[in-house]
Amino acid sequence: MDDLGRNMHDLCQELFPICRSITGDGFRQSLAILNRELPGLRAVEVPTGTKCFDWEVPKEWNIKGAYITDPKGKRICDFNVCNLHVMGYSVPINKTVSLDELQKHLFSLPSQPNAIPYITSYYKERWGFCITHQERKQLKLGEYAVYINSELKEGALTYGELIIPGESKKEIFISTYFCHPSMANNELSGPVVTAFLAKWLVGMKNRKYTYRIIIIPETIGAITYLSRNYKVMKSNIIAGFNVTCVGDDRAYSYLPSRNGNTLSDQVVKHVLKHLQLDFVTYSFLDRGSDERQYCSPGIDLPVCSVMRTKYGCYPEYHTSLDNLELITPTGLLGGFNVLKKSIECLELDETLCATVLCEPQLGKRGLYPTIGTKRRAPEIKNMMNFLAYCDGNSSNLEIAEKINVPLWELTGVIEKLKKESVLTSV
């Protein structure tokens, strides 16, 4: 399992240098790397201008290089050194400007003087450079040559989709986004953990549910995907997770769906509680990722987020400081495990009903002690408590919560009682 964390971190490292955005070759190239791990992953292209509810797919953006030459001829804000130096979706530019003029196009963070901020302008054509505040303060008066070798053109928005079929056409949905350039917790942790979950799911025996896994650009990708698939999604998805910020070591966090008590919410709360993880519960009002779309009125999918440290809640967020040192093998593994356990609980969940009235005679089946004493063993107590709620109206997950036992500790009991025909599926 330590290998798993290490392997995920290695994949993050491989993906880190690529300049991704909501469209373009960086996204395609990143997806191709995941495709190596997940042969079934399909890249879908949606042309610029395609209508998606109230939005339309923007032009495709690609960039080959960018830098500023300062009055002394020194190259600064070099895209090749750090792709965050260029504002995302910057239009091409190649001219000389005064420092005053340049300042209008610079972005820095006075409160984090060593960080290059992450800035984008997807829907208004602009150009800009991002710079540490420390470097910006040292800029001298004079002429600056600004150069951005980018291209905005009719093209496509790319996303990845992997459908892993199960016994049921009912689906569990996993969504993650892949549109950020060189940043690690937000966001490389999301696609990488998702890819390893997908590999595990592909190998799962007796998979009950179908899994719909998408790797998209944030916001416009979710809207685009929904506009093409929301009817089937609404009819089939029973639970879903938005996977983001699952790579650092500092915290676990839960952000509920709009409804707040969907199956996804129930399972995540059950898992976090019974794994005895300290975790922060956010409000849906604190949301800021694709649950904005998945939980919007009329869409209302049962999607929540379980994270390590939430976007917006750590100082390095959306800066060059969100780097490969921020995420760790154990951090990634922790994120992976909570999602895996949640999925295992969903697979274990069903609604059972007792086949006999009153308690069954379990002694004659070898499931109950034949000597009556002062105390019952905890396993016996859990079994009897589980049975007491199998009324055909409560799911295994709901019963596990009621009797305060992790669902995964009831697996053996459930199997035995079903085998003995004391319980039957509803």
The footprint of a copy of itself (CB under 8 A) covers: 52-55, 88, 107, 109, 117-124, 126, 219, 222-223, 226-227, 230, 258, 284-285, 287-288, 292-293, 295-300, 312, 317-319, 353-354, 356-361, 363-364, 370-376, 381, 384-385, 388-392, 402-404, 422
Residue with Cβ nearer a copy of itself (41 or 295): 295
Cα-trace Rg, the chain: 25
Q: Which residue has the tokens 């896994």?
A: 213
CB 403 within 8 A of CB 329: no
CB of 119 to a copy of itself, least distance (A): 6
CB of 319 to a copy of itself, least distance (A): 8
Reading the block at residue 374, the tokens are: 């002062």
DSSP 202-219: HT-TT--SEEEEEEE-TT
State how beta strands 351-354 and 391-395 pair.
antiparallel
The closest of 216, 226, 209, 121 to 172, measured between CA atoms, is 209
CB of 11 to a copy of itself, least distance (A): 26
CB of 209 to a copy of itself, least distance (A): 25
CB of 299 to a copy of itself, least distance (A): 6
Residue with Cβ nearer a copy of itself (340 or 418): 418
Residue with Cβ nearer a copy of itself (138 or 370): 370
Residue with Cβ nearer a copy of itself (141 or 358): 358
Residue with Cβ nearer a copy of itself (37 or 350): 350
Q: Which residue has the tokens 């895209």?
A: 79
Full strand arrangement of the beta sheet holding 156-164 = 42-47, 156-164, 210-216, 171-177, 237-243, 303-307, 252-255, 279-281
Reading the block at residue 379, the tokens are: 């396993």
Residue with Cβ nearer a copy of itself (96 or 424): 424
Region at 392 (left for phi over 0; alpha for psi -120 to 50; beta for the rest): left
CB of 302 to a copy of itself, least distance (A): 15
